Every structure is written in C-alpha cells, then in structure tokens.
Structure 1
Amino acid sequence: MHANIALFCCSVLIWGSTWYAITFQLGAVDPAVSVAYRFLLAGTALLGWLAIRRQPILPRREGWWLIAAAGLLNFSINYFMVYKATALLPSGLVAVAGSVLSLMNVVNARLFLGQPMRPSVLGGGMMGVVGVLLLFTPELDGGVLTGGALAGFALMMVSNYSASLGNMVVSKTRKAEMPLITTTAWAMLVGALSMVGVAAFHGASFAVVPTLPYFLSLFYLALFGSIAAFLCYFTLLGRIGPGRAGYVAIMTPVVALVVSTLFEDYRWTPAGVAGLVLAVLGNLLVMAPGALGGLLRRQPA
C-alpha cells in the first residue's frame, strides 16, 4: 500500500473511534482539564521518545511563534469545543459536524497559502457537506435544530475553523522543514498549558475520577488519537497539502457513525443513508481519478 494511502487510512480509522472515546472523558472532570491532561501526556511522551533516540528536543527559536499558534488552534480551542459539543450530541453527529473542516481547509488554503481551488476538490467538498447535513436531519425539529443540538453544532463550527487555521500553520511548519515530532510535541504542550489556564480561570478542579473507563480513554486518546493519528495526518498534510488532506474529515464520520450505531444506538434514516452516500461520493470525487493521482504522489505543501 502506498504511503499516502496508509497515512490516510490510519488517520481515518483512529480518529473515527476517538469521538466515542471522548464520551468516557465527560462528566465529573471539566472538559478543559481533560484536554489539558490528554495533550500533556501526549506531548511529554513525544519529547521522551525524542530523548530516548537522542534527537533534538528544542525547536529553532524562530519557529516558536508557529508552534504557539499550532498549539492554540489545533490542541486547545479546537478540542475544547469538541469536548463541549460531545456533551450535547451523540459522538457520531459530532464527527459529522466536524467534517465541515474539509471545505474550510480548501477555502483557507486559497486565502492563506495561495493554493488554487480546483473544481473537483471544491465540488467534492460541497457534496460532502450536503451529505453530512443530511446525516444531521434526525436532530431537526420543525426544520430547525433543537436547542442542545444547535449549540453543539455551533461549537463544532468554531472547532472546525480553529482546526482549519491550525492546519494552515502546520503547512507553514512543514514548508519551513521544522521537525515534525518536535513541533507537534511542543504544540501539544502549548495547548495543554492554555487549557490549564482556562480551567484555573473558571475554578475547575484538577482532580481526576479514578475510574478504569476514564483512564483507558485518556491513554487511548493521548497515545493513539493524539500522537499516532496527528503524526500520520500532519505527515499527509505536508505530502499532499491541506486541501486533500482535509478529506480525512469526510471519511472519519463514516467510522464514527458505525461506532455510534454499535454503542450509542444511533438511528439510521433514509436521509441519513443518502447523506452517507453523498459524503463518500464527495470524498471519491476528490480522490479519483485525477485527484487520486495527487494522493499517490508527493506534492509541494
């Protein structure tokens, strides 16, 4: 299997399962505290790995502002909004709302990186967005989103835009040839530190409920959902650019909805099935046939 395809599948499968894992983080522990612990553990583990391999731990001084921006956008605002939204919506629908990231990536790549918006990429993105909105129809009441669902959807739009801006920053770090693991580790620690500040500001307790589900989900989210998946995704981002890499966010909800169906009793409707088909077709429109060649070959970020 080609490296780009492997990176794409790894990101999708891991992230598709993390939405459900987040549900075990909610409840007695404040979302800001859980996000802080997640990325503190992940960032420290990455730095430990670098130390064991005797690789440079500190980034170049001129790269710190990019690291700070990536940390705040990707590992702080983004995930804080995700955790808050997951308290209001089934995990599969949170993932569905998160797939709007793909279209935001295409637009922001044009605005901030000067990348062209190819018709196939933009068309696939629009089709995918229509599909995920159809998947959201069970949360409609009289043609509008119900209160909790509306708040959850709004939180996810903030999360998506934060993540999309973060992806633009990551593209710049890859273009500047900043070490991937070092950059990711310090960005995670910046995100964790900012969440500590948020939690302290509103007086949240840093005590952790000593339950097995909480700790298992924390380690899974930190080691797999944060380290393995992000390194795969950021590597893919550098190889094929944010426009196509963002379509990880189209396929991730498919996995998340399967998990939600199995463990959260997600109810499928005809509109939901149609939405899933559109989301997949939108992704295929981007990946094949011409765009598939882009996935199979390395492109400048």
Structure 2
Amino acid sequence: MSLSTRFGGPKWTAALFLLLAAFWGTSFVAIEVGLHTVPPLYFAGLRYALAGVVVLGYAAVTTSRWRPSGREEWLSISVMAVLVIAVYHGLLYVGELHVSGPVAAVVISLTPVLTAGFATLILPEDGIDAVGALGLGLGVAGVAVVAGFDPTNLASGTTIGVLLVLLGAVSFALGGVLTRPLSTDLPMESTTGWAMGLGGFLLLAGAVARGEPVGNVAWTETALLSFAYLTVVSAILGFLIYFTLMERVGPTQLNLVGYLEPVVAALAGWALLGQGVDAATISGFATIFAGFALVKRRALYDVAMRTTAAVTS
C-alpha cells in the first residue's frame, strides 16, 4: 500500500504538509552540522545512494512497476539524477561550507520563481507576463539582499556560498521543467528511487574527483546522527511525502512548503546551534516571497478561493 493510499483525507494532507516543511526545513541545519567533520560531496553522495536503494525497494513492494523501460523514462530519470539530485545537492552542500543552514534555506526558496522563469523559456504554454517578470526580478533581488551583495567584494565567503546555493536552486528548477514534457508511466516512487541512486553515485564520483578524504572521515556521533536524519527523514520520508502531496494539491500549493522551510530552519538553527537571523536575511526572504506571490498570483488566488469554499461549506 502506497503512502498516498494509507494517509488519505484532508486532515492527513495538512499534517503531511507541515511534516514536509519540518523535515526539509531542519535538513539545512542537519547538513551544516554534518559538514563539520564530513566532506560535502561524500556526505551527500552516501545519503542519496542509500536513500535510493531504500526508496527503490519501497517502490518494488508498493507499486505496479519499478523497472524503467523506454528512452523517455530513462531520460526523465537521468535528468532528475543529474540536475535535481547530484548538481543541486552538490552545490548546496559545498555552499553550506560558507553560509548557515537558514541562509541556504532562504536562497532555495527562490526555486519556484526560477521554475516559472525556465518554464517561460522552455515551455511557451507556461509563460509569465510582465507582472510575473517583475516577480522574477524581485526574487533575484531578494537573494542579492541575503548575500549582502557588494560589487567591490564579490570574493567574500558569504557571497560565494550564496552564489553556490543559488546555482543549486537553478539546477533544481531547470531539472523540474525539463522533465515535464517527458511522457512516462513509471510510478514516481520508482523514478525517485532510480534518480536518487544514480545521483548519489555521481556525487560520490565527484567526491573522488574533488580529492575529498573519503578514506579517513571522522564519523563522530553527531555526524552519524545528522547522516541518519538526512537519509531516513529528510530524503526517504520527505520525498515520499512530497510526491504524495503533489498528487493531491498540485505544484502551486505545494510550493508554499518552500516558504515554511526557512522559518523551520531558522528555529532549528537557533535551538540547536544558537544562531540568529539578521535583518538582511529576513528582508531578502520577504522580497523572494513577494516575487513568488506575483509570479503565482492567479494560482494562489484560486487556491485561496477553494480553501475558503471548503471551510465555509
């Protein structure tokens, strides 16, 4: 029985939405903790290689088909493995060597806005108008605010970290758009399992190419706890919840999870690491969200109307 079948109904949908925000929001801080002793690409690669095996096993038991067939299914898996898993997480983990988890979460919240921009370029039927273009500009401006953009000091650690995380968000958004036109009947659990496994292998290959000391990593108790949490909770359970919600509420409503994640990350960073969030990060996050609201204003209006109708009926 799949996760979607087991946890049906509107109350479970709301609960899963909040769980996903909690799982993915805390993952930014868990990554930051693990990176104190484990190299970034090796850390991410092990996480997704193991998660891929588990999710693929889950797909073999709960879905009608776990093995891909045909060019488009393999192409869809490859795009996800390269852009959504390997490149995105590689840049995110390396970026978090320079910026905190909450800051990374704010930058990643630009992903839905970037997705709309790529859709305009690649899928003309999903184009955005002048107001949406303004929203895209606001989103990018919000990232610049978070980075403390200074043309005279582009080599600062914070700027480099924000840029790497931003490029990761670009990769994730591009991967999501490129997979849309591909026709596939392979269950999403199966697609995700294959993409995670292949993406994890690419990350491990990248760790070797980067010269990371994979043979003598200091696996402290804290690092092991971080790895276990990221693999089991954020990756395996998180992605299964994500695709369950995608089927139920659609991409626009689900994108709102990305705007709860920075809040969760900030709370987790404060509680676990004693981190604060400065005014620039808060201002940047508000600007990014304003951009998202402009890009998705019609869809958000429809969601609000349906929600109001459901509450008052």
- Common fold: TM-score over 0.5: yes
Q: Deviation of residue 178 (structure 1)?
A: 2.4
Choose from 128, 150, 156 the match for 2:165: 156
Is 1:77 matched up with 2:56?
no
Q: What corresponds to 1:290 in structure 2?
A: 302
Q: Deviation of residue 278 (structure 1)?
A: 4.7
Note the alpha carbon deviations across 1:140-177, whole angstroms, 9 max, x for none: 6798566101111111121011101121244345x533
Choose from 26, 33, 45 the match for 1:36: 45
Pairwise CA RMSD: 3.3
Report the residue type matching 2:45 in the other structure.
A
State the secondary structure of the residue aligned to 1:289. helix
Is 1:115 matched up with 2:123?
no
Note the alpha carbon deviations across 1:243-272, whole angstroms, 9 max, x for none: 664443333212212222333333344555
Q: Deviation of residue 110 (structure 1)?
A: 2.1
Q: How does 1:1-301 map to 2 (within 5 A)?
A: 1=10, 8-53=17-62, 55-62=64-71, 63-113=73-123, 114-117=125-128, 130-131=141-142, 133-134=144-145, 136=146, 139=148, 147-172=156-181, 176-207=184-215, 208-237=217-246, 245-278=254-287, 286=296, 288-293=300-305
Q: Deviation of residue 40 (structure 1)?
A: 1.0
Q: Deviation of residue 215 (structure 1)?
A: 1.6
Q: Deviation of residue 44 (structure 1)?
A: 0.7
- Is this contact kept in 1: 2:39–2:212, CA < 8 A? yes
Q: Deviation of residue 288 (structure 1)?
A: 4.0
Q: TM-score, normalised by structure 2?
A: 0.78
Alpha carbons of structure 1 residues 273 and 95: separation in structure 2 relative to 1, 3 Å = closer
Alpha-carbon distance in 2 for matches of 1:9, 1:141? 36
Q: Deviation of residue 79 (structure 1)?
A: 0.3
Q: Structure 2, unaligned stretches of length 5 or more? A: 1-9
Note the alpha carbon deviations across 1:91-122, whole angstroms, 9 max, x for none: 11111121221211111122223313267766
* Count of residue pairs brought into register by the alignment: 294
- Is this contact kept in 2: 1:250–1:283, CA < 8 A? no
Alpha-carbon distance in 1 for matches of 2:44, 2:77? 18
State the secondary structure of the residue aligned to 2:180. helix
Alpha carbons of structure 1 residues 202 and 274: separation in structure 2 relative to 1, 3 Å = closer
Alpha-carbon distance in 2 for matches of 1:242, 1:204? 37
Alpha-carbon distance in 2 for matches of 1:296, 1:171? 30
- Is this contact kept in 2: 1:101–1:163, CA < 8 A? yes
Alpha-carbon distance in 2 for matches of 1:294, 1:172? 28
Alpha-carbon distance in 2 for matches of 1:4, 1:112? 31
Alpha carbons of structure 1 residues 129 and 6: separation in structure 2 relative to 1, 3 Å = farther
Percent identity, aligned pairs only, is 26
Q: Which moved more, 1:97-106 or 1:208-217?
A: 208-217
Alpha-carbon distance in 2 for matches of 1:203, 1:269? 35
Alpha-carbon distance in 2 for matches of 1:24, 1:195? 19
Alpha-carbon distance in 1 for matches of 2:259, 2:132? 12
- Is this contact kept in 2: 1:39–1:226, CA < 8 A? yes
Q: Structure 1, unaligned stretches of length 5 or more? A: none
Alpha-carbon distance in 1 for matches of 2:221, 2:227? 10
Alpha carbons of structure 1 residues 281 and 6: separation in structure 2 relative to 1, 3 Å = farther
Q: TM-score, normalised by structure 1?
A: 0.81
Q: Which moved more, 1:220-229 or 1:75-84?
A: 220-229
Alpha-carbon distance in 2 for matches of 1:169, 1:211? 39
Alpha-carbon distance in 2 for matches of 1:245, 1:263? 27
- Is this contact kept in 2: 1:240–1:295, CA < 8 A? no
Report the residue type matching 1:289 in the other structure.
Y
